[in-house]
């Protein structure tokens, strides 16, 4: 009878968890659009991110809530005035962040 052995090291999946994806995207979006770090927000805590994911809150809605609550102003627009453009994130902003962070190709 032959027995097989399981290798001592099991390869770890290179796939990121949803919390890790949010962390990467939040880091990029907050820095590039608002001049903030993840530690400047409640999202420095993994459990806060997990709660949003479990509640079905989108990344854009989560950030836009912070924008509204703290009256954040976007820093990524030249000639921006608060009267002319909205400070909120769009689906296009999220898509650009996914590309910039390497979470999608193209």
106: in domain = no
Residue 65 has which token pair? 């809530």
In a domain, 91, yes or no: yes
What mean pLDDT, rounded, does the chain reach?
A: 86
- The domain containing residue 77 runs over which residues? 18-100
Q: How many CA atoms lie within 13 A of 19 on its CB side?
A: 10
- DSSP symbol at 15: S
Tell me whether residue 12 is in a domain.
no
In a domain, 6, yes or no: no
Q: Is residue 3 part of a domain?
A: no
pLDDT tens per residue, range 15-45: 899 999 999 999 999 999 999 999 999 999 9
Q: How distant is the alpha carbon of residue 69 from its chain centre?
A: 18
Note if the pTM is more than 0.75: yes
* Predicted confidence (pLDDT) at residue 11 exceeds the cutoff of 50: no
Comparing CA positions, the residue from 57, 71, 50, 60 lying closest to residue 29 is: 60
- Looking at the structure of the chain, the number of domains it has is 1
Structural domain includes residue 4: no
Question: How does residue 92 score in pLDDT terms, banded at 50, 70 and 90?
Answer: very high
């Amino acid at each position: 009878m032959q027995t097989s052995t399981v290798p001592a090291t099991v390869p770890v999946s290179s796939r990121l968890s949803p919390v890790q994806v949010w962390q990467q995207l939040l880091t990029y979006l907050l820095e590039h659009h608002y001049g903030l770090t993840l530690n400047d927000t409640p999202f420095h805590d993994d459990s806060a991110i997990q709660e949003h994911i479990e509640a079905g809150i989108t990344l854009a809605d989560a950030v836009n809530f912070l924008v509204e609550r703290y009256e954040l102003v976007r820093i990524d627009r030249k000639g921006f005035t608060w009267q002319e453009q909205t400070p909120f994130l769009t689906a296009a902003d999220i898509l650009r962040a996914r590309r910039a962070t390497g979470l999608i190709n193209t």
